[in-house]
Amino acid sequence: MTPPLLGTSLKTTPSPFTPPSPGVVEFALLLPKEQADELIELSRRRSESVAQILRSWIQQGLLREELAKKSAHDSLLLRD
C-alpha cells in the first residue's frame, strides 16, 4: 500500500465541523441570552427550527437590500 501524500488523511468519516455539502457555510452566532431565549420561544410557537427562522430573516433582508438598490438605480435613471 502506498503511504498517503503529506497533508492528506485516510479518515473517511467527515469531521463534525465539515459542512454537509459544498454549497453550505456554517456561521457561529453569538446572541445575548434574552434574544436567544426569545428566538427559541418563537421557534416553538411557529413549529420551525431556529435555523429556518434565521434563514428566512436573512433572505428577507437580502431581498429588501436588492430592492432598495434597484429602486435607487431606477431613481437615478429617472433623473437623467
8 Å CB contact between 50 and 39: yes
Is the pTM higher than 0.85? The answer reads no
pLDDT attached to residue 33: 97
Report the chain's mean pLDDT, rounded to a whole number: 80
Query: Higher confidence at residue 75 or residue 13?
Result: 75
- 47 falls in which pLDDT band (50, 70, 90)? very high
* Domain map (residue ranges) of the chain: 33-79
Residue 77 has pLDDT above 80, yes or no: no
Q: Phi/psi class of residue 7: alpha, beta or left (left: φ > 0; alpha: ψ in -120 to 50)?
A: left
